């Protein structure tokens, strides 16, 4: 005979829901136990004879079948199997939960098994399990991108609507300023073109005189010249004097000096004309600044205000993280959840309690 008290070890494990259903003889759907009038177990209750077996040996609930000869028969009226009453000690029923619950072994263990799987601290995990906070269980990335595009379009439309009264006048003033600048630039371009033309003519004249003096000096190097050499009104070789190497070098030096001075003088004239334009532009800007600057400042304030309004909503969307793809669990208070759900309920899913944890675990590839 098997000695039930003789054992070396005991193993305790949790049964899966499928195993529990396979062991069960029926589902308990009522919290009642014994009817206080008939003193019989309530049907589908915690002591139900249909689930756990008859209260009396070989007698069904309704009394249709009695005695041992009906052993094993299930009553077609009350559904109770005719058997010994002691089977009630062996049979097990089950309760279908309305919502999932977590086993304390997986939550309170050290380390917490669920906490390790979800990368959550035990405190945050308990906040979700005990219905203190919501947990985001899924984020639709395509819907989020579409919502971001729509938000930015709304922000642009809102900005255009608010600026509708300011922008036309501001654009008109800026256009006046731009037209004035173009007009002044056109005038200065004409003057600079005149200066450049005068410079080129004078430079060509100087270059011709320099080339003639250089040619004369090179052709008579080492010889005396009766007429001498004069360059730009400066006497290089006196009449009857000898053309020396020093005189030839002086011709080149004086020529370069004169051309350089001409270029510098021309550049000064250009700069002076540009300065006139800059001064005129400053005067034009000053004339429009009293009206233009307040409009620009008001427009900037409106843009900043609208951007601030939409920046928070855009940031809210970007902060939504999928617990699987982004490997980050985001918790929400009830007020925060309602706020985000009103605006972006089509973008994400969130829940609290064990159901939320179960939804995430179903997506984990173990």
Q: Spell out the domain ranges in the chain.
A: 1-95, 108-155+320-362, 163-318
* pLDDT at res. 24: 95
Question: Does 364 score more than 70 pLDDT?
Answer: yes
pLDDT attached to residue 191: 78
Distance CA 156, CA 161 (A): 9
For residues 195 and 266, is the Cβ–Cβ distance under 8 A?
A: yes
Nearest residue to 350 (alpha-carbon basis) of 113, 166, 128, 198? 128
Residues 6 or more apart in contact with residue 355 via CB below 8 angstroms: 99, 100
* Mean pLDDT, residues 6-21 taken together: 88
Confidence band, pLDDT 50/70/90 cuts, at residue 356: very high
Range ranked top by mean pLDDT from 73-87, 282-296, 308-322: 73-87
C-alpha 244/C-alpha 55 separation (Å) is 147
State the pLDDT confidence band at 249, using cuts at 50, 70 and 90: confident
Q: Are the C-beta atoms of residues 54 and 61 closer than 8 Å to each other?
A: yes
What per-residue confidence (pLDDT) applies to 337?
93
Q: What is the pLDDT of residue 352?
A: 93
Report pTM.
Answer: 0.57
- For 28-81, give the DSSP string: ------B-TTT-SBPTTSTT-HHHH--SBTTB-SSSSSBSGGGTTPBPTTT--B
pLDDT of residue 351 exceeding 70: yes
CA distances from 325 to 120, 135, 204, 262 (A): 16, 15, 77, 74
Per-residue pLDDT, averaged over 28-52, amounts to 93
Are 222 and 243 spatial neighbours (Cβ–Cβ below 8 Å)? yes
Q: What confidence tens digit (pLDDT) does each residue in 103-137 have?
A: 888 898 888 889 998 989 999 999 999 999 999 99
> What whole-number distance in Å separates Cα of residue 21 and Cα of residue 37?
32
pLDDT for position 161:
76
pLDDT value at 187 more than 60: yes
Per-residue b/e over 353-366, b at no fewer than 16 CB within 10 Å?
bbebbebbbeeeee
Maximum distance among all Cα pairs of the chain, rounded to whole angstroms? 166
Q: Say if residue 178 is exposed, middle or buried (CB neighbours under 10 Å; 0-12, 13-18, 19+).
A: exposed
The Cα–Cα gap between 354 and 128 comes to 8
- Residue 128 has what pLDDT? 94
pLDDT over 80 (residue 358): yes
Residue 220 banded pLDDT, cuts 50, 70, 90:
low
The pLDDT of residue 248 is 64
pLDDT of 7 above 90: no
């Amino acid at each position: 005979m098997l000695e039930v008290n003789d054992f070396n070890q005991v193993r305790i494990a949790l049964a899966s829901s499928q195993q529990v259903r396979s062991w069960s003889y029926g589902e308990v759907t009522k919290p009642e136990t014994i009817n206080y009038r008939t003193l019989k177990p309530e049907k589908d209750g915690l002591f139900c004879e249909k689930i756990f077996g008859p209260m009396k040996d070989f007698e069904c609930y309704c009394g249709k079948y009695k005695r041992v000869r009906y052993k094993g028969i299930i009553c077609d009226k009350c559904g109770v199997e005719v058997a010994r009453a002691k089977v009630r000690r062996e049979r097990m029923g089950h309760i279908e939960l309305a919502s999932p619950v977590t086993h304390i072994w997986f939550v309170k263990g050290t380390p917490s098994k669920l906490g390790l799987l979800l990368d959550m601290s035990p405190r945050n995990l308990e906040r979700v399990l005990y219905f203190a906070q919501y947990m985001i269980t899924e984020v639709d990335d395509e819907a989020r991108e579409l919502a971001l595009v729509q938000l930015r379009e709304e922000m642009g439309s809102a900005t255009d609507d608010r600026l509708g009264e300011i922008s036309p006048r501001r654009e008109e003033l800026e256009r006046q300023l731009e037209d004035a600048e173009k007009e002044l630039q056109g005038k200065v371009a004409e003057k600079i073109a005149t200066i450049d033309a005068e410079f080129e003519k004078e430079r060509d004249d100087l270059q011709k005189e320099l080339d003639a003096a250089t040619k004369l000096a090179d052709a008579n190097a080492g010889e005396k010249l009766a007429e001498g050499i004069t360059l730009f009104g400066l006497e290089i070789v006196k009449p009857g004097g000898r053309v020396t190497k020093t005189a030839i070098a002086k011709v080149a030096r004086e020529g370069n000096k004169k051309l350089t001075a001409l270029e510098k003088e021309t550049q000064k004239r250009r700069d002076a004309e540009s300065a006139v334009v800059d001064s005129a532009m400053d005067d034009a800007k000053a004339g429009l600044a009293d009206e233009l600057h307040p409009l620009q400042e008001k427009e900037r304030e409106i843009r900043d205000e609208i951007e601030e309004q939409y920046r928070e909503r855009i940031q809210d969307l970007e902060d939504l993280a999928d617990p699987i793809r982004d490997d980050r669990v985001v918790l929400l208070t009830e007020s925060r959840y309602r706020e985000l759900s009103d605006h972006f309920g089509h973008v994400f899913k969130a829940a609290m309690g064990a159901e939320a944890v179960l939804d995430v675990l179903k997506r984990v590839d173990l």
